[in-house]
Amino acid sequence: MPAPHRPPPHELVDVAPRTTTRRTAVAALVGTTVLFGGGCTSGSGGNTDGARPPATPARKLVWEDDFDGPAGAAPDPSNWTPEHGGGGWGNGELQTYTDDIANLAVDGAGNLVITARALTTGAGTSWTSARITTFGKRTVTNGRVEVRAKVPRGQGIWPAAWTLGQNIQDVGWPACGEIDVVESIDDATEVLQTVHGRRADGERWYRTLTEPVSAPLSEDFHVYAADWTPDAVVFSVDGRTTGQVRRSDLGGDEKWPFDAAQYVLLNVAVGGRLPGYPDDTTPTTASMLVDRVSLYE
């Protein structure tokens, strides 16, 4: 297994902390087709019973973690490695990642719970949280990642399920590629799904889908997926396609990185350039519940 490493900061788009309602589509959405029209349905219309949406017909399940285990147990170390540390993670984030049970544990009911937690001291408020990865343990190549999860809400709260190229130690980021299967910020009323790659000059290119929903994502579980081939990455929520990014739509200086194996990351960040920072309305604990992570090829 490759030596332990610290992956790059999790970046979505270079925007200032928002103070108004986010646009329903990011201006950089080039070559992406949004198919929902009115947006995906949340709440009573979502996939709340745990049933799997149909995978691409040719796909077969190659690995899955459904987070069974006694309450308080760590996620299976044969599948997951916790990451540690703070320092902003390149985005001005506030949290320090730990593997403490207060931040990372299964709940005994078939869910992984990642909790961002505010700690108040004489010096002010600090935050702890958790981030885990399958680096060197579980990967998928030209396949499908599904995550059934219930995300938290709150000003400055930034949950995510995403992938990075297993070749990151050799080629670096963003050349390794990044697929954001789901991100949510603040009031959890939009699904953010993004791909990142490298331009010929070494800088990052990205395409982002921003899908408004009819009820906050924090109210129920939903199945978020990214399915990719050598030609495209197709995103979906609860089995309904939200859009795609096609290789043929990239600019001449934009490199397609998704032929390499990708590994999975799960985390809850706090603060940073995308969500802005916590305020008086932010809860002191914010938990993402993950029912399962499934890989198909």
Q: Are 190 and 184 in contact (CB under 8 A)?
A: yes
Q: Domain residue spans in the chain?
A: 43-296
Residue 72 is classified by DSSP as T
Which pLDDT belongs to residue 247?
A: 97
> What SS3 class is residue 30?
coil
Rg of the chain over CA atoms, in angstroms? 18
Q: Is 183 an annotated catalytic residue?
A: yes
User: How, if at all, do strands 240-246 and 144-150 pair?
Assistant: unpaired
Domain covering 43-296 in this structure, CATH number: 2.60.120.200
> What SS3 class is residue 171?
helix
Mean pLDDT, rounded, for 172-200 = 97
Which pLDDT belongs to residue 120?
A: 85
Whole-prediction pTM: 0.84
Which pLDDT belongs to residue 235?
A: 98
Q: Are 155 and 276 in contact (CB under 8 A)?
A: yes
**pLDDT tens-digit readout, 71-108:** 999 999 999 999 999 988 778 899 999 999 999 999 99
Mean pLDDT, rounded, for 181-191 = 96
Per-residue CA distances from 295 to 17, 66, 107, 191, 200 (Å): 33, 12, 22, 21, 30
| Tokens 């009820």, residue located | 215
48 pLDDT tier (thresholds 50, 70, 90): very low
Mean pLDDT, rounded, for 189-199 = 97
Catalytic residue among 11, 93, 183, 211: 183
Catalytic residue among 83, 146, 178, 211: 178
Q: Is 211 an annotated catalytic residue?
A: no
